[in-house]
Amino acid sequence: MTTLAPNAPTSPRSGSSKRRRLAIFGRQPLGIVFAAPYAVFLAVVFAYPLGLAVWISFHDYFFTAPGTQVDRPFVGLDNYRTVLSDPAVRESFLNVLEFLVINVPLTVVLSLVLATLLNQAIRGRTFLRAAYFVPYVSASVALVAVWLFLFSNNGMVNNLLGPLAPDPSWLVNSKLAMPVVALFVTWKQMGFFILLYLAALQGVPKELYESASVDGASRFRSFMNVTVPGVRSATTLVVILATITGANLFTEPYLLTNGGGPDGASSSPVFLMYQRGIEQGNPDVAAAIGVLLVIGVLAITLFSRRLLERKD
């Protein structure tokens, strides 16, 4: 009876099948089991709706009663032409761009500075961490009521400013409405991004700060030369998340400015999707707005990632 030597080479067929298994399942196939529920979640909640939205945007789609079979003809780029020729849609994209220009830099700078301060041994650190996080977990309706009290025509801010108060007031001023909304969202969500930076700061070696101190660097120089590069990956994540959140702006202008007012100065693409798709019964036009929004967000996030992760 013949036996194979312990180190006998495997056949080409078995080697190729092994490589295929590695390419499909990886070196740890058990990881697929743990990742499968989240993959199904992504497919059902994100991938399928996005694919359906793309399909709807290329068809003459309208709502019907459940079970009704109707023709929904392919219309090509007609819905996109309708969207791009609509001044309200163009204004909403410019509004959300203005929002991002204000919100994202403020979020990054304030969150990083406050996280750096809260990472030090200061009195009341636990209370301050909780205080910054409370607005993030609070109901938007309750927080909007506070801001309406502050920035309404007879609100606290105008009473403090007196003759310096803007006329018309903040939330009914076409030039100030969107900046106020951007400030509100920055304040509301800052607690979450502070937590991200606090986690990132734990990975910055303390020896680097000691070396900078020995070299005579001031606190500002240590912050710019040690802290900022040390949390660069967290900054990339904060920028991406803030961009995605800002692009999906809906609740804040809907509540603060009574539906994107004045005269659409604070409307957003998502708000127009709601108007066109639900209130006016044009889901195909709303889907086209959504697809354009997704493309725009992807372009901004990819550009931001390349810019932030570029090696000096």
Question: 244-272 pLDDT, tens per residue?
Answer: 999 999 988 888 888 888 888 999 999 99
- The dihedrals phi and psi of 216, each to the nearest 5 degrees, come to 85, 15
pLDDT score of 183: 94
DSSP 44: I
Identify residue 59 by its one-letter amino acid code.
H
Write out pLDDT tens, residues 2-21: 455 555 555 555 566 666 66
pLDDT score of 119: 86
Q: CA quadruple 235, 236, 242, 246: dihedral positive or negative?
A: positive
Token pair 């502050």 in the structure block, residue: 150
Token digits for 189?
Answer: 């969500």
pLDDT score of 25: 61
Token pair 């900078």 in the structure block, residue: 212
Cβ contact 28:21 at 8 Å: no
Parts of the chain with a pLDDT under 70: 1-29, 311-312
